[in-house]
A and B are shown apart, each in its own frame.
Chain A
């Protein structure tokens, strides 16, 4: 078996050609701007061919897919380092972890995660998507928790 990314591998489980909903959502977000200077961060190999102008500095837009074990401190630093006008962050929320309790955050994980990201991108518009039931959505191939951040 060739070594290909998980998304491509899991897509082969199905006979009909298709795209996962969360992947299509990312493609739609960048559809009209895929020629713009784009920085790809994290587990993004599936999107290599989608963007025409990949850059490593001074991006106009950023796609960050966080799909590995990541502490909240690391995640925060990664997000703070992103400077662009259009940003998509797709995160596997089951692979985030904290090293200390924080009783002041919202008790609902999905809401507290949104608060966490919003606190970093304070003056931006954020569209937030997440799934409650993840058992059948291929979250581990492609994160279903996504933040679409734009600056007006």
Chain B
């Protein structure tokens, strides 16, 4: 394996090379649509049925694509995606934030948007059980009096898949959360946690 040292300096860092996306906007738009399609199949349609009446905030979760089904949806997307999202046709309302799951953004949402529901997906942070529980509890704390819908994306959560089942992870997580949630399987790798204080 001596040739390992001869690797090219691969430009494989999204973070470092984000600006180069602008040069390939067509491809990125294609990718975003593909992602949206992937997520749309089961996840969002199932959630739409569970939403209470009133404003629904979708955090970094393609909410702008579902305003035909529910005109009360408002999307919060990461600011870094703004240029890309402006290139994609949709009728939804999008607000932008540096970090859609930050305390500041969540407090702004609670104070000024007064949503009856907030939908977010969790997994891209590549966290383990305890960190996931801590971060979700921080989010829950910032969203009082709101129906919270959390999509656990197991394709992105780091846990020992040889030692534990996905169900075990979910059940363990539920025990660590600061409020009770119901569970619903949206797709093989996606589990929805939700409460129903307004129902």
Contacts and interface: CB of A to CB of B under 8 A. Distances in A.
Interface of B is mostly: loop
B160 to A, nearest CB: 4
A69 interface: yes
B182 interface: no
Contacts of B108: none
Interface string A85-124: 0000000011111111111011111001100100000000
Given A18-B8, A20-B12, A136-B12, A95 B155 contact: yes
Contacts of B189: 69, 95
Contacts of B8: 18-19, 24
Given A101-B163, A135-B126, A28 B4 contact: yes
Interface stretch (B26-34, B75-83, B135-143): B26-34
Given A97-B166, A136-B12, A107 B6 contact: no
Nearest to B153: A94
B175 interface: no
B156 interface: yes
A9 interface: yes
Contacts of B163: 98, 101-103, 105-107, 109, 112
Contact of B160 (A14, A108, A148): A108
Contacts of B13: 136-137
Contacts, number: 117
Contacts of A21: 7, 10, 12
Nearest to B123: A94
Nearest to B5: A28
A40 B163 CA distance: 29
A36 interface: no
B156 A94 contact: yes
B10 A105 contact: no
A5 interface: no
12 contacts: A9-B27, A18-B9, A25-B7, A93-B161, A94-B158, A103-B163, A105-B163, A113-B162, A127-B1, A133-B126, A136-B16, A148-B1
Interface of B: 1, 3-4, 6-17, 20-21, 23-24, 26-28, 30-31, 124-126, 154-166, 168, 188-189
Closest 9 interchain pairs by CB?
A109-B160, A28-B3, A136-B14, A112-B162, A21-B10, A18-B11, A136-B13, A12-B27, A96-B161
